């Protein structure tokens, strides 16, 4: 029993370390990617012993600055809630990673150890619920600041997240109809087969419309351009108007965590998770008859690497979208959610049901 607890704690520490380091790295990726798109150099001044390494030390310099920067709290703010709001947002987003499978189970010291912190029976519902609870951090931050612009930003955020959570949930109903399970590990296992004997049986091929709705709704859930109405720097500044120092950094860090969570969910639900096309437990078995044997440790490494590459791709894609498209008006954001994505998600459920009924 004690060994099981230690294994779970070790996996939790590794998963959180991976997530936080990736979020820290994404702050550098965002600055460099935007610089490349705008024909600039980007952040490259931070150095250690004269080494700059393309600005890779910049995220650590920013983190140190956030720790020591003055933490100003307005005299008219509701101080306990003002302190609590960033922690609520951070916790609700970061805890969702415990349900995401990073790879297949491995055997170590005579034990079968799943590469997943917690294989929850209703993992899909857990992830959606925790992401939904994150809105309380936004609402609390805007209201506790006692600033009208912060309050407007928090109300925008609440309306936007509630609206797009409906579309996000509908986009996953069709997927669950095809892969009848709420456990993320089982959904990944279902995607290990072949479609028409050639294509991997990934969710993107079985639910293309569902993925389109999921992707747009997920972008809105991250509150980034073109859906950054809760922040709206050129209009109202946003729900963190009265935040500075470490608390502001925690809100910003939560945004990057949401990018990672959305990327991990997209990879897990629609792109096979840790599955590699035609890779089985003994190696590659190709549809045209070829075969490449591989040791169990090599198969595990390839699967974990596959998951990480998929997550990195979707993180890069979200940053690309953020620096490509202009911000939508608030009424356009609401119209897209309720008049386009929700009907599209409902149509996808109907079409999926008809296909399954006549199959």
pLDDT tens-digit profile of 333-359? 999 999 999 999 999 999 999 999 997
Number of Cβ within a 10 Å radius of residue 143: 19
Q: What would the mean pLDDT of 289-308 be, rounded to a whole number?
A: 93
Band of pLDDT at residue 319, cut at 50, 70 and 90? very high
CA pair distance 251, 228, nearest whole angstrom = 14
Angle at 259 between CA 190 and CA 143, to 5 degrees: 125
Instruction: In whole angstroms, give the CA distance from residue 316 to residue 127.
Output: 22
pLDDT bracket for residue 88 (50, 70, 90): very high
Interatomic CA distance for residues 332 and 191, integer angstroms: 35
The mean per-residue pLDDT over the stretch 74-96 comes to 93
Confidence category of residue 16, pLDDT binned at 50, 70, 90 = very high
Output the DSSP codes for 77-118.
S-HHHHHHHHHHHHHHHHGGGGGS--S--EEETTEEE-SSS-
Share of the chain above pLDDT 70, in %: 99
- Any idea of the CA torsion for 131, 150, 231, 162, to the nearest 10 degrees? 30
pLDDT of residue 128 exceeding 80, the answer is: yes
- Of the candidates 255, 212, 263, 253, the residue with the CA atom closest to the CA atom of residue 230: 255
For residue 33, the model assigns a pLDDT of: 93
User: What is the chain's percent helix, strand, coil content, to nearest 5?
Assistant: 65, 5, 30
Contacts of 123 (CB under 8 A, 6+ apart): 99, 182, 183, 184, 185
Task: Provide the residue range defining the domain that includes 27.
Answer: 2-358
Give the pLDDT band of residue 107 (cuts 50, 70, 90).
Answer: confident
Contact yes or no for 223/255 (Cβ under 8 A): yes
Name residues whose C-beta falls within 8 Å of residue 17's C-beta, 6 or more positions apart in sequence. Answer: none
Would you state the pLDDT for residue 294? 93
CB under 8 Å to 97, separation ≥6 — which residues? 15, 16, 19, 117, 260, 261, 264
pLDDT of residue 276: 95
Q: Give SS3 for 293.
A: strand
pLDDT of residue 54: 87
Number of domains in the chain: 1
Q: Where are the alpha helices (DSSP H) in 235-341?
A: 245-270, 296-322, 330-335
Residue 356 has a pLDDT of 95
Q: How far apart are CA 121 and CA 60, in angstroms?
A: 38
For residue 211, cis peptide bond before it (omega within 30 degrees of 0): no
Q: Could you tell me the CA-to-CA distances from 263 to 14, 124, 147, 227 in Å, in that order? A: 18, 15, 33, 17
The per-residue pLDDT of the chain, averaged, comes to 92
What confidence tier does 270 reach under pLDDT thresholds 50, 70, 90?
very high
Q: For residue 197, what pLDDT is reported?
A: 84
pLDDT for 1:
63
Element (H, E) at 10: helix 2-37
By the 8 A CB rule, do 253 and 85 touch? no
| Both tokens assigned to 4 | 């099981």
Region 55-65: mean pLDDT is 90
């Amino acid at each position: 029993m004690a060994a099981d607890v230690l294994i779970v704690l070790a996996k939790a520490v590794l998963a959180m370390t991976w997530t936080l380091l990736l979020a820290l790295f994404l702050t550098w990726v965002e600055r460099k990617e935007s610089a490349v798109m705008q024909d600039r150099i980007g952040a490259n001044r931070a150095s250690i012993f004269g080494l700059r390494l393309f600005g890779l030390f910049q995220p650590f310099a920013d983190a140190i600055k956030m720790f020591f920067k003055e933490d100003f709290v307005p005299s008219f703010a509701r101080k306990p809630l003002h302190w609590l709001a960033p922690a609520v947002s951070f916790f609700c987003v970061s805890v969702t990673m415990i349900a995401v499978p990073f790879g297949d189970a491995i055997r170590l010291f005579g034990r079968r150890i799943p590469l997943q912190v917690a294989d929850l029976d209703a993992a899909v519902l857990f992830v959606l619920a925790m992401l939904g609870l994150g809105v309380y951090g936004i609402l609390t931050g805007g209201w506790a600041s006692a600033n009208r612009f912060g309050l407007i930003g928090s109300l925008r955020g609440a309306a936007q997240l509630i609206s797009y959570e409906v579309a996000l949930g509908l986009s996953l109903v069709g997927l669950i109809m095809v892969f009848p399970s709420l456990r993320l590990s089982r959904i990944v296992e279902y995607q290990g087969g072949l479609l028409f004997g050639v294509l991997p049986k990934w969710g993107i091929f079985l639910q293309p419309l569902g993925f389109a709705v999921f992707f747009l709704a997920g972008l809105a859930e991250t509150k980034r351009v073109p859906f950054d109405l809760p922040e709206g720097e050129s209009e109202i500044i946003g729900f963190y108007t009265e935040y500075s120092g470490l608390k502001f950094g925690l809100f910003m860090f939560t945004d990057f965590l949401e990018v990672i969570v959305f990327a991990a969910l997209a990879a897990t639900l629609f792109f096979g998770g840790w599955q590699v096309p035609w890779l089985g437990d003994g190696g590659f078995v190709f549809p045209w008859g070829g075969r490449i044997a591989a040791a169990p440790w090599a198969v595990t490494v390839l699967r974990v690497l596959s998951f990480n590459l998929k997550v990195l791709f979707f993180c890069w894609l979200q940053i690309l979208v953020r620096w490509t498209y202009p911000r939508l008006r608030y009424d356009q954001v609401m119209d897209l959610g309720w008049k386009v994505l929700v009907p599209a998600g409902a149509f996808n459920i109907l079409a999926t049901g008809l296909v399954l009924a006549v199959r």
